Amino acid sequence: MTKRIGILTSGGDCGGLNAAIRAVALRAHHGYGWTTVGLRSGTHGLLDRPVDAVELDPDDLDAALARQGGTFLGTTNRGDPFAFPMPSGGKKDRSAEMLKGLSTLKLDGLIGIGGDGSLDILRRLMAPSKVPFIGVPKTIDNDVANTERAIGYSTAVAIATEALDRLHPTGASHERVMVLEVMGRDAGHIAIAAAIAGGADVVLIPEVRWNLKHVVAHIDKLRRSGRTSALVVVAEAAGHSDEAADADSDAPHHGIGEWLALRLSKATGAEARATVLGHVQRGAMPTAEDRLLASAFGVRAVDLLADGKADRMVAWWNRQVIDVPLEKVVGRSRTVDRDGALVRTARALGICLGDRP
């Protein structure tokens, strides 16, 4: 009998999701003769009756899809099945309703593409069901445990690097300190990679405790050496300098980038401007690396279902696609290694991390 597998995207979108969906459906069809059903809007579509899902026709999934940003199935990061936000303002456990919806699709396996939070939720949702579940890691933050890469990170780094390439000439022309705030809810992977690739002078990440006075001293040193402009990258989660604790008067209202630009201009006397890159990092045409990773992950996820595996996540490790138990992924996160290659590289290039004079 022809098997049917489901695929859904959950959590924030990023570059490479469509390439992963395509790879799953093509591998299922060409490799095993299976049908793939796309679930719409993450798990939200499972609450509709009939369930909001569509059979994917392999003939519609040409390479053009792999080039597109976003996810054509839709996604959400606002619909925890166990604490679903209700119109009344309260929260309700709707996991049983979702599982009932899922059962109407008569699936033999489900592949969920998500970050650490989504994979945790999907794993718990699927636990009482008999449908095997396989996770695929995606997040521009690149902080999913036990994989060196998540889909979307490469694209976000490319965009943040391009932003620095664009900020440099305008900053230099006006002799300004240009502050770029990049995403990363809890980790500084995008910030440190873009800072190295984009030639920043300073990078502030949550993993390295920093102090404003060291950043100011570094910019002063650059000026004394004849430099008239500077590039500063700050991760949205970088927190605030120790000196901010009693600085209520200019406490950040709009995020760390604006706060930092204000403080730097006061402390150095230079004009400073902040750019908050925000969702621009998520929406682009995916890089070749993300398309490749997404394709390899999609194929491996289907192969795992074919091998009768469940409760595992595909991962990238040492230039190989591997798979790991989901229990070794959920509830953990992979932050930037303070002694790792990227931090050492940044320091060697003279980039200030704000933790020393």
Footprint of ligand F6P (CB under 6 A): 12, 77, 115, 139-141, 183-185, 236, 282
Cα 168 from chain centre: 25
The nearer residue to ligand F6P, 101 or 198, going by C-beta atoms, is 198
The amino acid sitting at 151 is I
Angle between helices 95-104 and 116-126 (to 10 degrees): 70
**Closest CB 270 distance from ligand F6P, rounded Å:** 29
**Least distance to ligand F6P, CB of residue 248, Å:** 25
Nearest residue to ligand F6P on Cβ basis:
183
Of 120 and 236, nearer to ligand F6P (C-beta) is 236
Active site residue 141: yes
Q: What angle in degrees, to the nearest 10, is found between the helix axes of 341-348 and 189-197?
A: 40
Q: Which two three-digit tokens encode residue 345?
A: 């590289």
* 210: amino acid identity, one letter: W
Q: Which of 13, 116, 120, 141 is catalytic?
A: 141
Closest CA relative to residue 177, chosen from 266, 264, 276 = 264
**Residue whose structure tokens are 């927190």:** 239
Dist CA 76 CA 309 (whole Å): 27
Phi–psi pair at 142, nearest 5 degrees: 55, 35
Q: Residue 340 burial by CB count (10 A; 0-12/13-18/19+): exposed, middle or buried?
A: exposed
User: Residue 45 corresponds to which amino acid?
Assistant: G
Angle of CA points 330, 333, 339, to nearest 5°: 150
Q: Please, which residue, 66 or 256, has the CB nearer to ligand F6P? A: 256
Q: How many other β-carbons are positioned within 10 Å of the β-carbon of residue 262?
A: 15
Helix, strand or coil, per DSSP, at residue 5: strand
Minimum CB distance to ligand F6P smaller for 91 or for 347: 91
User: Could you tell me the smallest distance in angstroms from the CB atom of residue 163 to ligand F6P?
Assistant: 15
Report in angstroms how near the CB of residue 31 gets to ligand F6P at its nearest. Answer: 31
For residue 77, the minimal CB distance to ligand F6P (Å) is 5
| CA atoms of 309 and 287, how far apart (whole Å) | 30
> Minimum Å distance from CB 12 to ligand F6P?
4
Q: In this complex, which beta carbon is closest to ligand F6P, that of residue 141 or of residue 303?
A: 141
Nearer to ligand F6P, 119 or 140 (CB): 140
**Quick check: 185 and 141 in contact, CB under 8 A?**
yes
Sheet holding 202-204, edge to edge: 202-204, 230-235, 176-182, 271-276
Helix ranges, 13-137 (H): 17-26, 32, 63-67, 95-104, 116-126
Query: What amino acid positions are annotated as catalytic residues?
Result: 141
